[in-house]
Structure 1
């Protein structure tokens, strides 16, 4: 059964239960209040009948006259005056034992059979005790209750039908965003993983669901790109050093009597072997970064402290580097610079960017600026290096791609793609601004709340 139908059915059932309880509440108190007045009129007649019939009083004639003149007779009204203690009590019907027990206890008793009402009370004159009972019909009150009963029954069914229709409209309205999500997800296939769901502003469940799908698509796209890049680049990048190694081995084998040529060949083989090892390490790192990082722990990390660790790490590799860290815009609340990250991966990503900045600026000063605002933390790495040609900027995150002005610098074009994959795993992004001959600024943006 579809969720919309389940919601509609549940809504209709709950509405029926609530309406039933409300109708029962109305019926119970209407039934109680409708007959209360009539019982009081009967009890007044019980007292008047006892006064007139059982007590000798000079005013009894006046009471009887006023009673006949001003007190209307109720439909089918009858009076019964019974001597107390008689085993056989005769009225127009057999009344329950509880009715007489209440009278004998000194209270006014009430009883109703359909539309016929009874009220009775015990009285004692100087000679004997008597039970006075007055009975009558109440056609008006009974008819009003019957009409109320019909109204409640009709209202119940109409309300249930209306609640079903409203529930159907309501469920369709509430599930419309979910249907849109399903419709959008069905359009996304392996060949268009770049598509994303439209995330509305807000923190409701639909927005969270869409954002969760987008995060999953980010990871899938990264994994697909990593796989494709690995396959397409591995064969090309690995073939070159292997070809060189193979050629140098053949050259060394031919130059049996020339030790200098053999030595040069072995040096070339050593260099290409190291290059091959570096490429393999980079490819494996690039491939592993395409997964979700569950093999490594995620933890809360203060990013200002991590930047000091990165500065020390880069200084060890590039002793001539000049790295300055700018904390002038840091907030007072340390929670705004503390992120839940995979520390090893995020450290690798930022280290790659900082190391590139130092290398491609001939070790001129590199500034790292940490800033936190609007639930985002940004790390800007600014150098005064060679910059990136405008035509190359769109390709620098492609594996093994190197800008056209980097020929004199050693590298393999794997660092930035690896950093991008890692930042994507953390639901972040990388922005770049560069001008050839002036310098480059790369800004890493990460969400503060995961």
Structure 2
């Protein structure tokens, strides 16, 4: 999966999580308000019934039941009952058989103790209300009903939220694809430009854009890397050219001497002389090869990472020992004008091998070309 689709997928997952959380919050708050509103309606119904039955003297249970049967009910599957302080049923809008097991004694006692109790009974929701009269005592009014309108509203809300979630997610996916395509367009162009760069055109550079954002910084760093690579390739080509030129002369000399000695029979002394000359040329060839390798390492800056504190006097002495081993007939001496008292002043940050090579070359040149 490429970056574009990964970004689109991650963007869609984040948006889906936000939409889902938003939908859950809306549904939960709507359900809470529906329940509170329905409990308030049940409480109002219970309180109205208690006032009519207990406070209004002209209305008894028979008349109240007639009123209930002939009234337009706003509550579906309503079940209402009123109990006196001894938990005796004094009024119900249903038959006693229909109330059996509906309101338990525990529910009545909890309502009497708490003053008001909200509960859920199957698909219905109920409210228990304690009603007190100064003359007749304490009563408990229980009413349950089904909130069909509320549940229909919640069902419609759930359907709307689900449809909105699906549509919103599709919009987010399409927008994510378009957005990620636009964001990654400079990277695609960058890849196309990089694909055109080969070993033969390292002088080519990619556009650096505005020079400020992350892609521009990436392009700048890549161009700087190309500059270093181009310099390394130039050094490599130059080294190959120099090595070929430097090695051609001793190799030509070796070949000429070998051809000369193979041309006819010679005395043992002549063969020894030729072998001695071939040995000297071979030694020169080895020294030249070592020098070229050191030059290549220096030019490619490989030794820069190996810099560490080096004592200069020790490097000079080591170079002197190396030269004595290679040329026992050389005679030279080293004089120090003044050595510092602190040894730390003799340390320099460098590469010991290259310093020894430099000092050896100076001494060797002095012995070769100076009296």
Q: TM-score range by the shorter chain?
A: 0.5 to 0.7
Larger RCO: 1 or 2 (CA < 8 Å, sep 6+): 2
Q: Secondary structure at the match of 1:199?
A: coil
How far residue 34 of structure 1 moved from its aligned partner, in angstroms, is: 2.6
Distance 2:234 2:109 in 1: 93
Distance 1:194 1:344 in 2: 32
- Deviation string 1:391-444 (CA, Å, 9 cap, x unpaired) is xxxxxxxxxxxxxxxxxxxxxxxxxxxxxxxxxxxxxxxxxxxxxxxxxxxxxx
**Pair 1:177–1:83, CA change in 2 (3 A):** same
The 5-angstrom pairing of residues 192-231 of structure 1 reads 192-231=201-240
Contact 2:53 2:59 in 1 (8 A): no
Uncovered stretches (5+) of structure 2, i.e. residues with no partner:
90-95, 257-283, 309-348, 352-371
How far residue 25 of structure 1 moved from its aligned partner, in angstroms, is: 0.3
Quick check: 1:289 aligned with 2:290?
no
How far residue 26 of structure 1 moved from its aligned partner, in angstroms, is: 0.3
Aligned to 1:180: 189
Aligned to 1:123: 131
Q: Secondary structure at the match of 1:81?
A: strand
What is the root-mean-square deviation in Å for CA atoms of aligned residues?
A: 4.5
Contact 1:193 1:221 in 2 (8 A): yes
**Pair 1:19–1:193, CA change in 2 (3 A):** same
Aligned to 2:53: 53
Aligned to 1:140: 149
How far residue 150 of structure 1 moved from its aligned partner, in angstroms, is: 0.2
Contact 2:39 2:118 in 1 (8 A): yes
- Deviation string 1:368-394 (CA, Å, 9 cap, x unpaired) is xxxxxxxxxxxxxxxxxxxxxxxxxxx
Distance 2:303 2:86 in 1: 96
Q: Secondary structure at the match of 2:74?
A: coil
Aligned to 2:355: none
**Pair 1:132–1:294, CA change in 2 (3 A):** farther
**TM score, norm. by length of structure 2:** 0.59
**Pair 1:9–1:176, CA change in 2 (3 A):** same
Aligned to 2:326: none
The partner residue of 2:198 within 189, 192, 196 is 189
The 5-angstrom pairing of residues 240-319 of structure 1 reads 284-285=294-295, 288-291=298-301, 294-296=304-306
Contact 1:116 1:136 in 2 (8 A): yes
Aligned to 1:16: 16
- Deviation string 1:228-282 (CA, Å, 9 cap, x unpaired) is 11111333356579989xx9xxxxxxxxxxxxxxxxxxxxxxxxx9xxx999979
Distance 2:156 2:113 in 1: 37
Aligned to 2:102: 94
Aligned to 1:30: 30
Q: Secondary structure at the match of 1:48?
A: helix
Contact 1:219 1:290 in 2 (8 A): no
Q: Comparing 18-27 with 217-226, which one deviates more in the overlay?
A: 217-226
Aligned to 1:153: 162
Distance 1:51 1:148 in 2: 37
Q: Secondary structure at the match of 2:212?
A: coil
**TM score, norm. by length of structure 1:** 0.50
**Pair 1:97–1:195, CA change in 2 (3 A):** farther
Distance 1:287 1:218 in 2: 19
Distance 1:166 1:93 in 2: 58
**Pair 1:185–1:102, CA change in 2 (3 A):** farther
Aligned to 1:388: none
How far residue 87 of structure 1 moved from its aligned partner, in angstroms, is: 9.3
Contact 1:99 1:111 in 2 (8 A): no
Distance 2:47 2:4 in 1: 64
Aligned to 1:367: none
Q: Secondary structure at the match of 2:114?
A: coil
**Pair 1:161–1:243, CA change in 2 (3 A):** same
Quick check: 1:106 aligned with 2:106?
no
Normalized per residue, which structure has more helix? Answer: 2
How far residue 201 of structure 1 moved from its aligned partner, in angstroms, is: 1.9
Distance 2:166 2:105 in 1: 40
